[in-house]
Structure 1
């Protein structure tokens, strides 16, 4: 088994911070319309060039967020968990999203938040990419964005607390879910840019693409429960 929980990156990266004001972006527009805060908790690649973005919404009742977000043609929204004055939402993004654009350019979004109509994005650019070129390409695509900060830093960031990760692997994931998510990780499915597609990994495992998607999405949901529960004190 690969050491998924213990993997960290210890290298120099360039951190960039952008400010965006356009309400055409859902995390900005929804935060403005509902006078709330939307914070990206996790971003995962999906087949077909899509991304699943998990947003924690606070400061408003979750009712109506799905219908409001779904007015954007490039977005599907699902309420995953509801709590007092907030909720956890999954947004499947097809494009027209600055975090999506940064990921496609090779950057790793770390903070994406909308606070009452003001958007803020912080991302790390790994050393194998030209940071200036990534910034220039992003600003060309999003002329409403503004570069607020750019600096070099050391990156050491584990994905999960190891004890929580091991517990969920051993107790909650089925054998097939664990096999699929480990194979995907080892094959570079979660790298940006992605090294292997879901269809290729499914073929290696001798299963269909639909079965691969079913198992990996179920495993991701359980692992995200650890992340959100530990970080926010709430069960999902």
Structure 2
């Protein structure tokens, strides 16, 4: 039996204290711990560690938008703790409402990186879709298919190969169901939604698919 492991990036999760901490300090967060709730009324408790440079200042609560407490501090860095209510504005909470735990959490330069596992593409699409309903700048960065054997087929796609228009064509076609079977939208429908001709749509779609396939095959 095989499954999927994916890294989902939220480029600007303004409500996430961990991501905001990386913006304030310029240092990445590689370790995040979250409590298991004993009841729905209990607040969630989170801790994160962050390295401190020779001239860096300790994080303040105003930097991250929540009340911080310092759990430990030494020459290597600090571990901070905060509590939050279950209010639906936490990306990890959104993932968990889809019935999937977050395998790992890290943050860098204001962006949040979540690793999640799903049984199939449909389940993964539901997770990504739920995040996109709440947050802007949600991207699927890395996808790993795993099986029972100790092997994996890693597919890393560099989105920077695509032009802005090619990315728009792909995203719109996907959202409208162009790639589904049976199709929920045809080429004319997607072209009209974007405001381009059908021939232009086909041209951009073909170029985008070629770039993505080249990236996959090179990997």
TM-score (norm 2): 0.53
Match of 1:55 in 2: 48
Alpha-carbon distance, 1:85 to partner: 4.3
Q: Compared with structure 1, are the counterparts of its residues 108 and 79 closer, same or farther at alpha carbon in structure 2 (3 Å cutoff)? A: same
2: CA distance, partners of 1:104 / 1:40: 22
> Quick check: 2:11–2:136 contact (8 Å CA) kept in 1?
no
1: CA distance, partners of 2:27 / 2:110: 8
2: CA distance, partners of 1:100 / 1:66: 22
Are residues 1:100 and 2:93 paired? yes
> Quick check: 1:31–1:115 contact (8 Å CA) kept in 2?
yes
| Per-residue deviation, residues 177-204 of structure 1 (Å, max 9, x unmatched) | xxxxxxxxxxxxxxxxxxxxxxxxxxxx
Tell me which structure has the larger Cα radius of gyration: 2
Are residues 1:77 and 2:68 paired? yes
- State how many pairs are aligned: 141
Q: For residue 130 of structure 1, give the secondary structure of its aligned residue in structure 2.
A: helix
Q: Compared with structure 1, are the counterparts of its residues 106 and 51 closer, same or farther at alpha carbon in structure 2 (3 Å cutoff)? A: farther
Alpha-carbon distance, 1:62 to partner: 6.3
Are residues 1:114 and 2:100 paired? no
Match of 1:149 in 2: 142
Q: 1:91 aligns with which of 79, 82, 85?
A: 82
Match of 2:12 in 1: 22
> Quick check: 2:8–2:113 contact (8 Å CA) kept in 1?
yes
**Which consecutive unaligned segments of at least 5 residues does structure 1 have?**
1-10, 156-236
**Which consecutive unaligned segments of at least 5 residues does structure 2 have?**
149-219
Alpha-carbon distance, 1:80 to partner: 0.9
